[in-house]
A and B are shown apart, each in its own frame.
Chain A
Amino acid sequence: MSTLTSPRPRALSDQDWPGYRLLVREPLRLDCGIDLGPYTIAYQTYGTLNRDGSNAILISHALSGDQYVADLHPLTGKPGWWTTMVGPGLVLDTNRYFLICANVLGGCMGTTGPQDLNPATGEPWALSFPVITIRDMVRAQKRLLDHLGIDSLFCVIGGSMGAMQALQWAASYPESVFAAVPIAGAARHSAQNIAFHEVGRQAIMADPDWCSGRYLSLGRNPVRGLAVARMAAHITYLSEAALHRKFGRNLQDRRAVTYGFDADFQVESYLRHQGSTFVDRFDANSYLYITRAMDYFDLAAEHGGSLPNAFIGTGSRFCVISFTSDWLFPTSESRELVHALNAVAANVSFVEIATDNGHDAFLLDEPELFATLRGFLTGCAEHRGLTRLG
């Protein structure tokens, strides 16, 4: 008996995504050299932009995240992924800041991605969608902010792939970034992380329902492959200590092992659940494209092999945060980034937070994370001359 759901298309069609959509007609020149356009950016906002537009915070989401930061998710009905952080009186205070989160380019929650129709063929893009990069995602976000009339972000903040975008923002548009908060991130994707992503992609491509990426045209969906990709990735988001604390070797609804390949252990059952619920809200080809974008991320390579060069002359204030038990984006990666920022005498704070929650700690209730961010943002707001809204 498998707990994985049977193949079926995701529930919403293009027009059904709640929230804002911006159609950009002017094509976007991508890193791969292709001009993509017109394209759509789906985004959510929270709070109110002040008169001089100085209180805008861009939240960059992670690989499997989306723009529904603090709303019920339209497909799963579950609360947003950062409700611990975003809301009235919370660290990202909606009474004080204007918060924006856009689904990334290549995503599957309303922003143009491989599941959308290629206007040239009338068929879903599938693998004919151009390979996009973190910098392409950020370029698209810049168009969105231009559209919203925001010249300068008070802050850009994100965890994991969101941290990559925050760093890319600081490197590409330093004059538009007052403060950048990369959490559990790195200035490049490590060999180990590329390896994990490759396992996920191969799982998707090995699924017969993937059909060389053309599953949507054929009315199929590689949910088994995508679920396995998610299961493998999910392990990397946790820590051995957290897995042990949550599950140990506990058995799932049984007193003894069954001498079979059912989910005897709670940890197996949990992972299967993670896999099966993920496929209800995510597109397999999107997963390929976004993981690829992360793999290609290397800020130093963009700047002649020198990471400090990416930040020369930066006036942005940085708050780099890592977690002790994060082995996917370990503290050493953040420290390397901090050293690069120090090398250009940037204004940087760096905190390693002790937790056993692994990489996922940035999504969880971590009081030290909240206290650090609250202090950092308050200090930045003072320097920016931000006054409290009513």
Chain B
Amino acid sequence: MMAALDRTAALKLIEAENSVAVDDAPAGELRRDLGLIAEMIEPQSRVLDIGCGDGALLAYLSRHKSVDGRGIELSQSGVNACVGHGLSVIQGDADRDLEAYPAGAFDFVVLSQTLQATRQPRKVIEALVRIGRRAIVSFPNFGFWRIRLLLLMRGRMPVSDCLTYPWYETPNIHLCTIRDFIALCDEIGVRVERSVTLDRHGQPFSLDPRGRLANLLAEQGIFVLCGSGVEANT
């Protein structure tokens, strides 16, 4: 029943175990969601990529946007691949290792496909907007119609291109829908500055992310956040 593993959307957290070394990846090629994130990042900025996997995004950003990039990655193989390729990456995770950073230490903090695997997503989001002028968060939308249908029709925990693990071994302990996410941001005073929703082919489409339709049609979402105390001048 398990859908074929789609590397394009598989969770970074585990993906790093089988990751391709940065140097072996085709130059300039990035996973589509990472490519969209890369577009949101200003050249020469200071970037922290949390759950950076094998460092593909960091390597791309330092090569094409001359950013001062740092990473945090849980898997030893991922960290070793990054450091082995000259990237500044520490072994750690979003729950444990964000406290130490001072406020505003980075221009952009990226948390891609990892929020749902953190123990305390709320605290993590608060930390993101504290240490970064902007946070870019992407996650699989549990409100996606196929997920809803799978649960409704089969009565089993959904397994999809974006959510590839059966319930008993998934690292995704805090799945949410796009509306859940936005409600949480509203509750904790985090401003959603920009959002991109992606359909099941990874194509971006434009719908109000607060609306019910986007929550139904998006397989994943990418959000640019900033704390309430930060001026927004995009």
A contacts, CB < 8 Å to B: 317, 319-320, 335, 338-340, 342-345, 347-354, 368, 371-372, 374-376, 378-380, 382
Specify which of B70, B83, B100 is in contact with A351 (CB 8 Å cutoff).
B83
> Is there an interface contact between A372 and B101, defined as CB atoms closer than 8 Å?
no
B69-108 vs A, CB cutoff 8 Å, 1 = contact: the mask equals 0100000100110111111111110000101111001000
> Is there an interface contact between B100 and A376, defined as CB atoms closer than 8 Å?
no
> Is there an interface contact between B90 and A348, defined as CB atoms closer than 8 Å?
yes
> Is there an interface contact between A349 and B83, defined as CB atoms closer than 8 Å?
yes
> Is there an interface contact between B102 and A351, defined as CB atoms closer than 8 Å?
no
> Is there an interface contact between B80 and A368, defined as CB atoms closer than 8 Å?
yes
> Is there an interface contact between A376 and B105, defined as CB atoms closer than 8 Å?
no
> Is there an interface contact between A351 and B79, defined as CB atoms closer than 8 Å?
yes
Question: Given A347-B70, A375-B83, A376-B83, is A353 in contact with B76 using a C-beta cutoff of 8 Å?
Answer: yes
CB-CB under 8 A from B99, the residues of chain A are 339
> Is there an interface contact between A375 and B84, defined as CB atoms closer than 8 Å?
yes
CB-CB under 8 A from B80, the residues of chain A are 351, 368, 371-372, 375
CB-CB under 8 A from A340, the residues of chain B are 100
Bound together, the chains give a CA A329 to CA B16 distance in angstroms of 27
Bound together, the chains give a CA A349 to CA B89 distance in angstroms of 5
Q: Count of A-B contacts with CB under 8 A?
A: 74
30 A-B contact pairs sorted by A residue (CB < 8 Å): A319-B83, A338-B92, A339-B97, A339-B99, A339-B100, A340-B100, A342-B101, A343-B102, A345-B101, A345-B102, A347-B70, A348-B70, A348-B88, A349-B82, A349-B87, A349-B89, A350-B79, A350-B90, A351-B80, A351-B83, A351-B91, A352-B76, A354-B76, A368-B80, A371-B80, A372-B83, A375-B83, A376-B86, A379-B86, A382-B86
Bound together, the chains give a CA A340 to CA B72 distance in angstroms of 15
Q: Tell me the minimal C-beta distance from B24 to chain A in angstroms.
A: 14
Bound together, the chains give a CA A266 to CA B214 distance in angstroms of 69
> Is there an interface contact between A345 and B91, defined as CB atoms closer than 8 Å?
no
Q: Tell me the minimal C-beta distance from B74 to chain A in angstroms.
A: 11
Bound together, the chains give a CA A339 to CA B86 distance in angstroms of 20
> Is there an interface contact between A338 and B90, defined as CB atoms closer than 8 Å?
yes
Specify which of A317, A335, A352 is in contact with B88 (CB 8 Å cutoff).
A317
Q: Tell me the minimal C-beta distance from A8 to chain B in angstroms.
A: 47
CB-CB under 8 A from A351, the residues of chain B are 76, 79-80, 83, 91
> Is there an interface contact between A352 and B91, defined as CB atoms closer than 8 Å?
yes
Closest B residue to A344 by CB, please name it.
B102
> Is there an interface contact between A374 and B84, defined as CB atoms closer than 8 Å?
yes
**Count of chain B residues with a beta carbon within 8 Å of a chain A beta carbon:** 21
Question: Given A340-B100, A343-B100, A382-B86, is A350 in contact with B92 using a C-beta cutoff of 8 Å?
Answer: yes
Closest B residue to A383 by CB, please name it.
B86
Q: Which of B12-52 contact A (CB under 8 A)?
A: none
CB-CB under 8 A from A353, the residues of chain B are 76
Closest A residue to B70 by CB, please name it.
A347
Q: Tell me the minimal C-beta distance from A80 to chain B in angstroms.
A: 25
Could you say which of A345, A352, A368 has the most chain B C-beta atoms within 10 Å of its C-beta?
A345
Q: What 6 pairs across the A-B complex have the smallest Cβ distances? A: A379-B86, A375-B84, A339-B100, A350-B90, A342-B100, A349-B83
Q: A348-B90, A375-B84 are in contact. List 18 more A-B contacts (CB 8 A).
A: A335-B92, A342-B105, A343-B100, A344-B102, A345-B105, A347-B70, A348-B70, A349-B82, A349-B83, A349-B89, A351-B83, A371-B80, A372-B83, A375-B80, A376-B84, A378-B86, A379-B85, A379-B87
Could you say which of B70, B82, B83, B89 has the most chain A C-beta atoms within 10 Å of its C-beta?
B83
Closest B residue to A371 by CB, please name it.
B84
Could you say which of A349, A350, A368, A380 has the most chain B C-beta atoms within 10 Å of its C-beta?
A349
Bound together, the chains give a CA A377 to CA B37 distance in angstroms of 29
Q: Tell me the minimal C-beta distance from A135 to chain B in angstroms.
A: 25
Bound together, the chains give a CA A115 to CA B89 distance in angstroms of 44
Bound together, the chains give a CA A330 to CA B97 distance in angstroms of 17
Bound together, the chains give a CA A380 to CA B89 distance in angstroms of 13
Closest A residue to B71 by CB, please name it.
A349
Bound together, the chains give a CA A383 to CA B80 distance in angstroms of 19
CB-CB under 8 A from A338, the residues of chain B are 90, 92, 97, 100
Q: Tell me the minimal C-beta distance from A165 to chain B in angstroms.
A: 22
Closest A residue to B84 by CB, please name it.
A375
Bound together, the chains give a CA A372 to CA B91 distance in angstroms of 12
Q: Tell me the minimal C-beta distance from B39 to chain A in angstroms.
A: 25
CB-CB under 8 A from B90, the residues of chain A are 320, 338, 342, 348-350
Closest B residue to A308 by CB, please name it.
B100
> Is there an interface contact between B84 and A350, defined as CB atoms closer than 8 Å?
no
Bound together, the chains give a CA A379 to CA B101 distance in angstroms of 23
Bound together, the chains give a CA A174 to CA B114 distance in angstroms of 36
Bound together, the chains give a CA A339 to CA B100 distance in angstroms of 5
Specify which of A320, A354, A375 is in contact with B85 (CB 8 Å cutoff).
A375
Question: Given A343-B101, A352-B76, is A372 in contact with B84 using a C-beta cutoff of 8 Å?
Answer: yes
Bound together, the chains give a CA A98 to CA B105 distance in angstroms of 35
> Is there an interface contact between B88 and A347, defined as CB atoms closer than 8 Å?
yes
CB-CB under 8 A from B92, the residues of chain A are 335, 338, 350
Closest B residue to A318 by CB, please name it.
B88
CB-CB under 8 A from A317, the residues of chain B are 88
Closest B residue to A369 by CB, please name it.
B80
CB-CB under 8 A from B86, the residues of chain A are 375-376, 378-380, 382
Bound together, the chains give a CA A382 to CA B62 distance in angstroms of 13
CB-CB under 8 A from B84, the residues of chain A are 371-372, 374-376
Bound together, the chains give a CA A380 to CA B84 distance in angstroms of 11
CB-CB under 8 A from A343, the residues of chain B are 100-102
